[in-house]
Amino acid sequence: MRTKLDLPADRVRHARTLAGRIAQPVQSFIDGHSSVTVERATLRLTGADGANADGVPVPNLVVDQIKAADPLFLEDGVLLRYVNALVRNGDTVEALNAKIAAGFNVASLPLGDRATIEKKAAELVQAGMARIKANRQRRGVKQEQFKGQNNSPLLYLIVATGNIYEDVKQAQAAVVQGADVIAVIRTTAQSLLDYVPFGATTEGFGGTYATQENFRIMRAALDEAGDKAGRYILLTNYASGLCMPEIAAMGALERLDMMLNDSMYGILFRDINMYRTFVDQKFSRMINAYAGIIINTGEDNYLTTSDAFEKAYTVLASQFLNEEFGFRAGLPAKLLGLGHAFEMDPTIKNGFLYEFAQAQMAREIFPEHPLKYMPPTKFMTGDVFKGLAMNTLFNFVSKATGQGIHLLGMLTEAVHTPFMMDRYLAVDNARYVMNNIQDFADDIEFRQDGIMVTRAHQVLKETIDFMEAVDKTGLFEAIAAGMFAEVKRPKDGGKGLEGLIKKGPHYFNPFEKQLAAELGLGGAQ
């Protein structure tokens, strides 16, 4: 079937080939390394939980104990000594966690028989995998029960009060108003914390702490609201940052449905070390893949530092790279919610046509992906009437191009944190527009010498030219040179580099090995 933009298939294939070539050297580095948060995620999947009297999480305590005993021990993987303590003490996981929180040091025990440790670890791996699989199955049952009742695209709303119990009230109200996806914004700068707080929280700034207990509370609240509304409500949180794999693990254990997870976002926009980020995103995405969690990538952020018209090719290039790294972590296309945004300067003549072309291009190049489309924010001024008009055009493009996940635009963007009424108006506007153009896409064709087709072909060409330059330079060097988002990040700079771990010859991570086997990946140690 002919596409509307008639993009040359050989050029799209070439772009994917370039993405593979660009990713390969990075993948080689990833395969030889772990990080402190990958190790803590492994502990969490095993059942390590809780915190000491000072609020330091048990997984952090274990990693710190092992590092303090001998930094080289980290090269073996921390699960080895955690399970060794279980075997030697004859404890349950819960009892060992309590002892660690009270001061017990797992590194104080000599290693016992390796085969016995591995046997016990295999039991814990199976229990953790079974819990995640049960969550995946429960999601499938609920989605089948309410099949066809969600909006298309899914209408995505955020809550961000700082208090998980207030978030619940806003989230349940949003479900009543028609939202399909609730995203709990994280408290400001949590992405830069190299630990995950423990328990329910009520004091966040600009958002609510991502904790496993907060995940559990919101999941239960959305199940209740969804059952009443007759829709399955998807829960989203943010896995980006220094604890990306841990938050992915918590999301898998508590049945989250979407997680923001970009291969380069932390590097470019949070100044997290590039080596650490690439290692962390791989393991986090393996967890997401097994859990059936849709990842949301962050290409919209490129347009906050770069001009959306002039640098549109960087968005497409990032989509190709996120897809490639996603595939290498076992994520199928249906779980790759590649991002983009309606962010061009509204004063550009024919800007709507360029936005339409960009969105249509993404849809045609990534036909099986649940694309996540972000609303105008950069040029929202506080003029609510103009803001509503901009959001209406955004809603039109999203429906007309078959986007999968639609983050609703707020008419009060740039004024204040949206009130529930602002969110209701956003839902109402989207549903009005989308209902009125339900079959619009099937009823139109694009002029092959017109503005939109010409623009899409131009952006694809610029994307390939850019990716060829990145391929020649190398991705690490390209990021250091500021080729992405006009942000320069030195290879040996950024936060978290000290948490990188080179895998030793006897590295032990049975979760990574089992996930790789389940996802059909090779090469895991």
Query: 150-181 burial by CB neighbour count: b if 16+ within 10 A, else e?
Result: bbebbbbbbbbbbebeebbebbbbbbebbbbb
Q: Please, is 21 exposed, middle or buried when counting C-beta atoms within 10 Å of its C-beta (0-12, 13-18, 19+)?
A: middle
Partners of residue 171 on adjacent β-strands: none
Quick check: is 373 catalytic? no
Distance of CA 150 to the CA centre of its chain: 22
Partners of residue 156 on adjacent β-strands: 181, 407
Q: By three-state DSSP, how is residue 182 classified?
A: strand
Catalytic annotation, pick one of 49, 76, 167, 300:
300
DSSP H/E element including 374: strand 372-374
Q: How far apart are CA 338 and CA 315, in angstroms?
A: 10
- Give the Å distances, CA to CA, from 95 to 49, 65, 107, 128, 196: 11, 18, 17, 17, 21
Catalytic annotation, pick one of 82, 209, 232, 265:
265
Catalytic annotation, pick one of 372, 399, 495, 503:
372
Instruction: Indicate the DSSP class of residue 516.
Output: H
Q: How far apart are CA 219 and CA 158, in angstroms?
A: 14
Q: How far apart are CA 179 and CA 158, in angstroms?
A: 10
Quick check: is 238 catalytic? no
Distance of CA 41 to the CA centre of its chain: 15
Q: Which residue has the tokens 């906050």?
A: 304
Quick check: is 507 catalytic? no
Cα Rg for the chain, rounded, in angstroms?
Answer: 23
Task: Please give the positions annotated as active site.
Answer: 265, 300, 372
